[in-house]
Structure 1
Amino acid sequence: MTSISSTLRIDIVSDVVCPWCVIGYRQLAAALEASATPYEIYWHPFELNPNMPAEGQNLREHVAEKYGTTKQQSEDSRRQMSKIAEEVGFEFHFTDDMRMHNTFNVHQLLHWADQYGRAHDLKQALFAAHFTDGRNLSDDNVLADIVAEIGIDRSEAFAVLKDQRFANDVRTAQKFWLDQGIQGVPAVVFNRRHLVTGAQGIENYERILTELTEESS
């Protein structure tokens, strides 16, 4: 595949508790690696459940309430997602006590980490913390620990969570993407012009990159 001559801007609107967001990103990353396309990724906030209480909710109960999903449908979906995730090198570890979380604080930390050029690293760490390790993203101490594990100051992260200094910034960013018509994630925007929603699969992302290459030539 011919690489794109200039750097490709990729804006990704997502939530760290969205399974298709991590799958979609991994598929896109594989396509980018295969194409040798120069790119820059910018992560943007989206809350799947902005009205979720701070303590979160059992994931199976949440899915049943929100989508009317039966236990068997939930099991089938988990197996399907786990298989697809495994194909792109990511491990889902679903358990009966796994929880859905309110992610507003998570997005504040990502906004803060971006000031250090570490939003991408933190995003990947949070995906793994939630889906692979089953850590409690509703706990500020856990979130601060995850930040420290990627080499950013834990005490400052904790202070960011306590004083909510980036709350307005996150709300403004969320509103911007909602105003653009983004109602579900993952939503990927290439070069600020081409919107692609959902986990597309490696081959489809490769096709998209090829089309962008041809467009820019």
Structure 2
Amino acid sequence: MTAQPVPLRIDIVSDVVCPWCAIGYHQLARAIEETGVETEIHWHPFELNPGMAPEGENLREHLAAKYGTTPEDSRKARARLTAMGVDLGFTFDYADDMRMYNTFRAHQLIDWAEDQGKAHQAKMALFAAFFTHRRDVSDIGVLAEVAAEIGLDPNAARAMLESGERAEQVRAREQFWTSRGIRGVPAMIFDRQHLVTGAQGEENYARILRQLSEGQAA
């Protein structure tokens, strides 16, 4: 009797307001589909802006202040991301009044959803909530709605977020990865030992998947 192949574990450290995290994941998903390698994805929290005020900031103003991004650079970057998203089947719907938000509560929702086997669905829903629908992913009401959209109890989600019962656990998970040198996202760890940072493209991910799956088979 032939032994079943062990799924290749992929840990992904990312933030729900990181456009390259959305791009990188969808490139990886294409590579997984192309190669047929069986994988097991685990999502981990990272905050791009842990000190972000509750009301958030205008996205263009935020990028200008944090990175020195000019309005023209911002326009070109958004156009590039939008085009890449189209190719990958993901919609970026940028607008000049779009805001950047604190994501600590969003990560708490994902952590809570993980206990119910829906961390991946929560992550995908939050990517879409922010980038496609420009929703405030720091708002408890919005997060409760996202929970409902993926089949979870919105009232239980709201109670969890209001209580802050997941805060300490999520903070510890964030610190676990930063203590291991993760400073930028997406950061993907293949088979618990091969770190790949940034959105590397479908071809590169496919090559990595094939190499690691062949190594496992050997």
- Sort the TM-score into its range (normalised by shorter chain): over 0.9
Letter in 1 for 2:137: L
- Structure 2: gaps spanning 5 or more residues: none
Aligned equivalents of 2:12, 2:173: Cα separation in 1: 12
Amino acid at match of 2:181: G
* Matched ranges for 1:177-192 at <5 A: 177-192=177-192
- Counterpart of 1:97 in structure 2 is 97
Q: Does 1:56 align with 2:45?
A: no
Q: Is the 8 A contact 2:8 2:213 kept in 1?
A: no
Residue 194 (structure 2) aligns with: 194
Counterpart position of 2:164: 164
Matches within 5 A, 1:12-31: 12-31=12-31
The alignment status of 1:146 with 2:146, answered yes or no, reads yes
Q: In 1, distance between residues paired with 2:121 and 2:91?
A: 17
Between the two proteins, the alignment pairs up a number of residues equal to: 214
Letter in 1 for 2:91: E
Equivalent residues of 2:12, 2:43 under 8 A apart:
yes
**Distance (Å, rounded) in 2 between the aligned partners of 1:122 and 1:139:** 15
Separation in structure 2 between the aligned mates of residue 140 and residue 116 of structure 1, nearest angstrom: 19
TM-score (norm 1): 0.96
Deviation sequence 1:79-111 (CA, Å, 0-9, x none): 111111111110100001111000000011110
Which position in structure 2 is the counterpart of 1:206?
206
The 3-state SS of whatever aligns with 1:11 is strand
State the shift of 1:5 in Å: 3.4
Coordinate RMSD, CA, aligned = 1.0
TM-score, with structure 2 as normaliser:
0.96
Residue matched to 1:35: 35
Task: Give 2:40's aligned amino acid.
Answer: E
Aligned counterparts of 2:138 and 2:47: Cα–Cα separation in 1: 14
Query: Residue 66 of structure 1 aligns with which residue?
Result: 66
What is aligned with 1:132? 132
AA matched with 1:207: R
Task: Give unpaired runs (5+ residues) of structure 1.
Answer: none
1:3-56 CA-partner distances (Å, limit 9, x unpaired): x93210010000000000000000000000111111110000000000001111
**What SS is found at the alignment partner of 2:13?**
strand
Q: Give the deviation of 1:136 after TM superposition.
A: 1.4
Identity %: 55
1:150-172: CA deviations, max 9, x gaps?
11000010011111001110011
Q: Alpha-carbon deviation of 1:209?
A: 1.0
Q: Moved runs in structure 1, 4+ residues, more than 6 A?
A: none
SS of the residue aligned with 1:189?
A: strand
